[in-house]
Amino acid sequence: MMISVASGKGGTGKTLVTTNMAASIGGVELLDCDVEEPNSYLFFPEMDERESSDCMVPIPVIDEDRCTRCGRCSDFCAYHALAVFPQKVLLFPELCHGCGGCALLCPEGAISEGSRSIGRIHRGRSGEVRLLWGELFVGEPMATPLIRAVKAEARGDLVLVDSPPGTACPVIEAVRGSDFCLLVTEPTPFGLYDLSIAVQVVRGMDIPCGVVVNRSGIGDRGVYDYCKKESIPILLEIPMKREIAELYSRGVLFTTAMAEWRDKFVLLLERIAEEVESR
């Protein structure tokens, strides 16, 4: 089963929920797909079997000797990654989506496929938790190929995906293929607004969802009323406690210091399994 943890808003506690859930359950794979700023691994300092590799994406290679500057490749490219000039063809690799269409259309066969690295895929193990996370190179605009590559390495029976914030393409790629999406929110007007957008996204992808309310006890009842109206189950509430915030700020899993919460995260998994089976 693959469970993605998402939200519509940054800073709601996705990593808090994902890391503590993984540590409480054990025997899971934790995928940090927030590749622009991965931080789940920081909560597992006792890590072994660590290794890394490059994430390669395809790009066109132009044979200038065979190229006749006909311009069909640049006319085809929807992302303007190619510009044809009388003396040279310019490639903007950061804009290329690696579809390969330019090579197929080239009448002279002057375009072949090369590759370049956009980031790193890291792997490690901490006790019963296997960690995978991507790290996008600074300046790279497209996170989705790296997210796809990280998810392709998942092989466990239970996979937890820590998704990026927001509801744009990286989130959709991270959530894609999940059996269940756990939406983390906070009981504030900002939290409610972004939660409602995230719900539209996962429902559009036909993925069942439930809500974790983090920092409960602040704000108002808007999130609770919305979930009741939309028949979205609230599966867990994490109170606004200074102790939890202090532990998190030091990179410590709060379930290690507050042992009673381990059972609550195990119960959370059981409730998710019931929601999936009831579909």
Q: What is the pLDDT of residues 215-243, one digit of tens each?
A: 999 989 999 999 999 999 999 999 999 99
Check residue 157 and give its pLDDT: 94
The number of beta carbons lying within 10 Å of the beta carbon of residue 231 is: 6
Tell me the CA distances in angstroms from 207 to 197, 199, 204, 210, one per residue in order.
14, 10, 8, 10
Domains and CATH numbers, the chain: 2-46+127-277 (3.40.50.300), 57-117 (3.30.70.20)
Check residue 8 and give its pLDDT: 83
Check residue 23 and give its pLDDT: 96
Q: Cα separation of 149 and 76, whole Å? A: 26
Mean pLDDT of all residues in 146-162: 96
Closest CA to 1 of 202, 128, 181: 181
Check residue 203 and give its pLDDT: 97
pLDDT tens digit string along 63-120? 999 999 999 999 999 999 999 999 999 999 999 999 999 999 999 999 999 999 999 9
Token couple for 216: 């409960």
Block residue for tokens 């690696």: 98
Check residue 170 and give its pLDDT: 96
Question: In DSSP terms, which residues pair with 28 in a beta bridge?
Answer: 129
Check residue 161 and give its pLDDT: 98
Answer yes or no: is pLDDT of 48 > 90.
no
Which of 145-167 are b and which e, b meaning 16 or more Cβ less than 10 Å from the residue's Cβ?
Answer: bbbbbbbeebebebbbbbbbbbb
Check residue 9 and give its pLDDT: 83
Token couple for 127: 């006790």
Which residues have a Cβ under 8 Å from the Cβ of 123 and sit 6 or more positions away? 49, 50, 51, 52, 130, 131, 132, 153
pTM listed for this prediction:
0.93
Which residues have a Cβ under 8 Å from the Cβ of 65 and sit 6 or more positions away? none
